[in-house]
Structure 1
Amino acid sequence: MEYVIDSSFHEVRLDRFLRKKYENTPLTEIFKGIRTGKIKVNGKKSKENYRLKEGDIVKVLLTGGETEVKSFMKISPKDMESLKKGIVYEDEKIVIFNKEADMVMHKGSGHEYGLSELFKSYYKTDEFNFVNRIDKSTSGLVIGAKNLTVTRELAEEVREGNTEKKYYILVDGVVSKDRFTLKTYLKKEDTKVVELDSYEEGAKESISYFKVLKRGKKKTILEGRLETGRTHQLRVQLSSLGHPIVGDGKYGKAGKSMFLFSYYCEIPKYDLKIELPLPQEYKDRLD
């Protein structure tokens, strides 16, 4: 089998490219093939950590053959309607999707499929990936990449802090300060995340910025911005502050839905900025 490397696998390690193409072949056989010359790049033996370049020719002489072409799941009319309704921006590289609360991002934990699997089937490509994720009970904007090249590019932008996301948050109680910063340490323990005042092994520094948008008699609407993106960061920090998010059953009082909405997404590298309005139900529940 011979492959001409396209932009999707540019800068991908040779062994990772082969593992994707030959999922049913033991890794030891792949490494042996590289070592013995049964796998060559541009007619020459190569190292497993060689990073492929667009236009490279990879020749593979392995028994067992390439992994069968994957068949994609059939999308129900209801799910198809949800996908089309939720897409707020799309071009040839990325898609920005407005996720409803209770939609899961990936299959698992009792769910046969999630948004990721739906979009892979929608675009008929296994290269689709979300580069950020939000909790099942959180709603709002998530960023999807349509191929591996864009996935790597966007993941690096997120990792380097070159993207920005903001949240609308409805919390219990009246928050007195107009603006405030929470800088704590968060640590996963069993099924929850706990907040610590000082560092201990396994904890991660977590920084969030908040400002009050509207105050009611018993509730407050906040804007939240993350400097770090830890699991349940906003939920845990606000709960520990004494202002749990309305509807957060894990760190506050359970409700029909949790009022945490990712409304703003900015990707300067792509000159992209998406902003959604404050949902009416936040205003309705304020008082």
Structure 2
Amino acid sequence: MEIVHLEETENHFLFQNISGISVRSFLESFWISKKLIYKLERSKALTVNAETVGFDFVLQSRDVIKISLEEFEKETLIPHEGPLTVIYEDADLLLVNKPPGILVHPDGTGKLSLDNLVAHHYLRKGLKRKARHAYRLDYHASGLLLYPKHFLAAAHINHQLENGMMKKLYYAVVEGKVERGGAIDLRIGRDRHRNNRYRVSKTALTYYRVLQAGEKRSLLEIEIKTGRRHQIRVHFSHLGHPLVGDGYYGKKGERLMLHAFYLSFQHPRTGERKEFVLPLPKEFTIRS
């Protein structure tokens, strides 16, 4: 079955040539969760031939499915105007360069977050979209952060994350001289005795190679195969090489020296492999 994508505007999609399967099965083919399918059905944002139907309705090839993003993509965040460095943008995705010292999402304290800035970016473009980040970066970290622009793209990106199809690489400066690269296979989980800290618990795998090794600090390229919170910071603290600037697991001081510089994934619409690379920040340079 070849799904024909008839039309796209900024606020809806049209599909045709889906035959012999239910609306529910059609949506599941995009890896949309059952919870989200339930919400979509209740929202009445999906119609078949301009009429609302139950999602057990069996589609025929001439049926036209319309998904209205205006009805379903209602933002609840307060938009805030501010600097936003856009690396790439199309109808499905927004990729930004997160600066250090900003939250990715609101924490309830009133602090500015990147999500608030993205919400304003969408508003300025006349888009009714939720600012939904695909993954997180720590407050003090910087680098590439991907925002799927609608729930169809988000489901596809989440599928890639969960199945190891997305590749992310980081630059990190750590304390001490790291002699050689390797792998760290240590479990990580929340520390019940200390707020916002994590310790060895759940399965977590990190690969690293040495780019520069000075006597006091080393520059590493890091790839994580799991997405545990604080994974890189916990793993290198455990090795005795905490990240420079890490106030939780090392010494307080300058900014956290962690930068997400590389991202590769499959585009949710075209299937094309997309690849993005940021340069090494000048403050990450190691003195021999």
Superposition TM-score, scaled by structure 2 size: 0.73
8 Å CA contact 2:179–2:213 kept in 1: the answer is no
Alpha-carbon separation, structure 2, partners of 1:52 and 1:212: 55
TM-score normalized with structure 1 length: 0.73
Q: Which runs of 5+ in 2 are unaligned?
A: 1-11, 16-22
Match of 1:214 among 209, 212, 215: 212
- Aligned twin of 1:46: 54
Change (3 A) 1:94 1:216: same
Cα distance, 1:261 vs. partner?
A: 0.5
The residue number in structure 2 matching 1:151 is 154
Task: Name the aligned partner's letter for residue 157 of structure 1.
Answer: Q
How far off is 1:273 after superposition?
0.7
User: How far is the alpha carbon of 1:245 from its aligned partner?
Assistant: 0.1
Unaligned stretches of 5+ in structure 1? 23-39, 59-65, 196-202
Q: Does 1:194 align with 2:199?
A: yes
> Is 2:79–2:118's contact at 8 Å kept on the other side of the alignment?
no
Question: In structure 2, what is the Cα distance between the partners aligned to 1:272 and 1:153?
Answer: 14
How far apart, CA to CA, are the structure 2 residues paired with 1:51 and 1:226?
Answer: 42
1:15 aligned residue (34, 38, 45): 38
For 1:247 and 1:164, the matched residues in 2 are separated by: 25
- Structure holding more helix per residue: 1
Report if aligned partners of 2:182, 2:209 keep a CA contact under 8 Å in 1.
yes
Give the length in aligned residue pairs.
244
Which amino acid is 1:122 matched to? H
Distance 1:52 1:249, change over 3 A: farther
Name the CA distance, whole Å, in 1 between partners of 2:229 and 2:77. 30
Query: Quick one: structure 1 residues 51 and 252, their matched pair in 2 at CA, closer, same or farther if it must change by over 3 Å?
Result: farther
The residue type equivalent to 1:188 in the other structure is R
- CA-atom RMSD, angstroms? 3.4
The CA deviation at 1:286 is 4.1
Q: Is the 8 A contact 1:168 1:222 kept in 2?
A: yes
Q: How many Å separate the matches in 2 of 1:74 and 1:183?
A: 40
User: 1:158-185 CA distances to partner (integer Å, 9 max, x unpaired)?
Assistant: 11111100000000000122x2100011
- Once the two structures are aligned, what percentage of the paired residues are identical? 26
The corresponding residue for 1:106 is 105
**AA of the residue aligned to 1:105:** V
Q: Which structure has the bigger radius of gyration?
A: 1
Comparing 164-173 with 92-101, greater Cα deviation is found at 92-101
